[in-house]
């Protein structure tokens, strides 16, 4: 069975600094997708970034980038120039390559931004 | 930008009552999902739905739960006889035909069972 592990329940970072959230996953599949979702206090799930397993290049979205290490099954999220609005719960997630498959979430990392 | 809409945003119900949570997925999407998040815990998969039938369901999705797409636009989750432990945030999601499209989540319905 596929699993997603986030070993950091909480993290803090100074505003404008860079922070990295860790995630590891376990799967025997070769075709899959990895995601980072942000959940602010409103509790809506917002997709931050997505990585296709077949792509070697790490995904980047503005201040958000990932370090995808396929052999190590590691998928970390780097947030550069942290802003107060980045404070939220961040979930790492996995989905097999089948288009109708469910998303499996990690337990989340709560990120605090210190002004 | 298209979005998934859920109603109500918050529902309070008495234990043993039936509740129906409603979702309007993105119009051209074909795959629909319900997830649950008990306060402070991880987001858990409940059920996926495609072509008017359940594709997959988790152990959580027992006989008390059912899903329906009654009119081609709404996607509902019914809990027949609510228990205190059903109190959670319920998220609806939908995705398109292309496997490259991610799932879009609604804003959630907070269900409180008293």
Domains of chain A: 3-114 (2.60.40.10)
Query: For residue B38, what is the domain's CATH number?
Result: 2.60.40.10
Listed by number, the residues of chain B in 44-63 with a beta carbon closer than 8 Å to a beta carbon of chain A are 44-45, 48, 50, 55-56
B20 touches chain A (CB under 8 A): no
* B101 belongs to a structural domain: no
**Of the candidates A12, A39, A41, which has an alpha carbon nearest to the alpha carbon of residue A114?**
A12
* B38 belongs to a structural domain: yes
From B33, B43, B108, residue closest to A105, measured CB to CB: B43
* B100 belongs to a structural domain: no
* B68 belongs to a structural domain: yes
* B15 belongs to a structural domain: no
> A101, B95: Cβ pair inside 8 Å?
no
- pLDDT for residue A99: 65
* B41 belongs to a structural domain: yes
Q: Residue B10: which residues within 8 A CB-CB, separation 6 or more?
A: B109, B110, B112
* B91 belongs to a structural domain: yes
DSSP state of B103: P
pLDDT of B80 strictly over 60: yes
- pLDDT for residue A19: 98
B14 Cα to chain A: minimum distance (Å): 23
Residues of chain B neighbouring A95 (CB-CB closer than 8 A): 103
> A98, B99: Cβ pair inside 8 Å?
yes
Residue carrying structure tokens 């802003």: A83
Residue A65 burial (CB < 10 Å; 0-12/13-18/19+)?
middle
Q: Residue A26: which residues within 8 A CB-CB, separation 6 or more?
A: A2, A3, A5, A73
B65 touches chain A (CB under 8 A): no
SS3 A75: strand
Please tell me which residue of chain A has the smallest CA distance to B51: A100
Q: Say how many domains are in chain B.
A: 1
A36 Cα to chain B: minimum distance (Å): 11
A113 Cα to chain B: minimum distance (Å): 19
* B102 belongs to a structural domain: no
Residues of chain A neighbouring B104 (CB-CB closer than 8 A): 47
**Strand pairing class (B10-13; B109-113):** parallel
Domain of residue B71: give its range. Answer: 1-8+23-95
DSSP state of A17: S
Q: What are the distances in angstroms from CA A22 to CA A45, A49, A55, B28?
A: 19, 14, 20, 34
pLDDT tens digit sequence for A31-50 = 899 999 999 988 889 999 99
**Of the candidates A57, A38, A75, A102, which has an alpha carbon nearest to the alpha carbon of residue B35?**
A102
pLDDT tens digit sequence for B23-65 = 999 988 889 999 999 987 889 999 999 888 999 999 999 999 9
What whole-number percentage of chain B has pLDDT above 90?
75
């Amino acid at each position: 069975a596929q699993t997603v592990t986030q070993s950091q329940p909480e993290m803090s970072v100074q505003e404008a600094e860079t922070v990295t959230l860790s995630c590891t996953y376990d799967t025997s599949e070769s075709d899959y997708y990895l995601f980072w979702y942000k959940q602010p206090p409103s509790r809506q799930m917002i997709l931050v970034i997505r990585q296709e397993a077949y792509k070697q290049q790490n995904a980047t979205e503005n201040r958000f980038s990932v370090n995808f290490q396929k052999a190590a099954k590691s998928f970390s999220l780097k947030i550069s120039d942290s802003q107060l609005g980045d404070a939220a719960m961040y979930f790492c997630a996995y989905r097999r390559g089948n288009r109708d498959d469910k998303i499996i979430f990690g337990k989340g990392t709560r990120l605090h931004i210190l002004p | 930008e298209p979005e998934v809409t859920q109603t109500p945003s918050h529902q309070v119900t008495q234990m043993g009552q039936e509740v129906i949570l409603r979702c309007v997925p993105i119009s051209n999407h074909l795959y629909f999902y319900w997830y649950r998040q008990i306060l402070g815990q991880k987001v858990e998969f409940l059920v996926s739905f495609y072509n008017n039938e359940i594709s997959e369901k988790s152990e959580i999705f027992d006989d008390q739960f059912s899903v329906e797409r009654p009119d081609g636009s709404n996607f509902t989750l019914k809990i027949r006889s609510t228990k205190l432990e059903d109190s959670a945030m319920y998220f609806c999601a939908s995705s398109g035909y292309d496997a490259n499209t991610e799932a879009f989540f609604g804003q959630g319905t907070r269900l409180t069972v008293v």
